[in-house]
Amino acid sequence: MNDCIFCKIIKGEIPKDFIYEDEKVVVFADIKPSAPVHLLIIPKKHIAKLQDLGDNNKELLGHILLTANKVAEMKNIKKGFKIVINCGPDGGQKVPHLHVHLLGGWRGGVK
């Protein structure tokens, strides 16, 4: 997927600070944050959308969500945060590479 912006970020073709990285995922800050903490958790493998996953991807999906826990702890927002996955263009997904939005940092509750 040469023209995928998130693949370019993963390959280092677009410089980006990774908050977390392992063999399956990378995490970096959203360029246009919608919350005090707004991170994107992204599989290294190019998968366009959630609907493209099947039974053989259960481990990857679990890994992505557990990564959310891990980075929420790193960012000191584990007490409360939101997970958003926009699924396909009709679901508001603009970047066609699966990503989980991790949103938080509203002290005292969501405004």
Where in the sequence numbering do the catalytic residues fall?
Answer: 99
Burial of 25 (0-12, 13-18, 19+ CB in 10 A): buried
Assess 87 for contact with ligand 5GP (CB under 6 A).
no
Among 10, 26, 27, 28, binds ligand 5GP (CB under 6 A): 28
Mark residues 53-72: x for contact with ligand 5GP by CB under 6 A, - for none. Answer: --------------------
As a whole number of angstroms, the distance between CA 95 and CA 31 comes to: 12
The entry of ligand 5GP, Zn ion, none that residue 75 binds, CB within 5 to 8 Å by partner kind: none
- Return the SS3 of 108: coil
* CB-CB neighbours of 74 under 10 Å: 13
Assess 95 for contact with Zn ion (CB under 5 A).
no
Assess 32 for contact with ligand 5GP (CB under 6 A).
yes
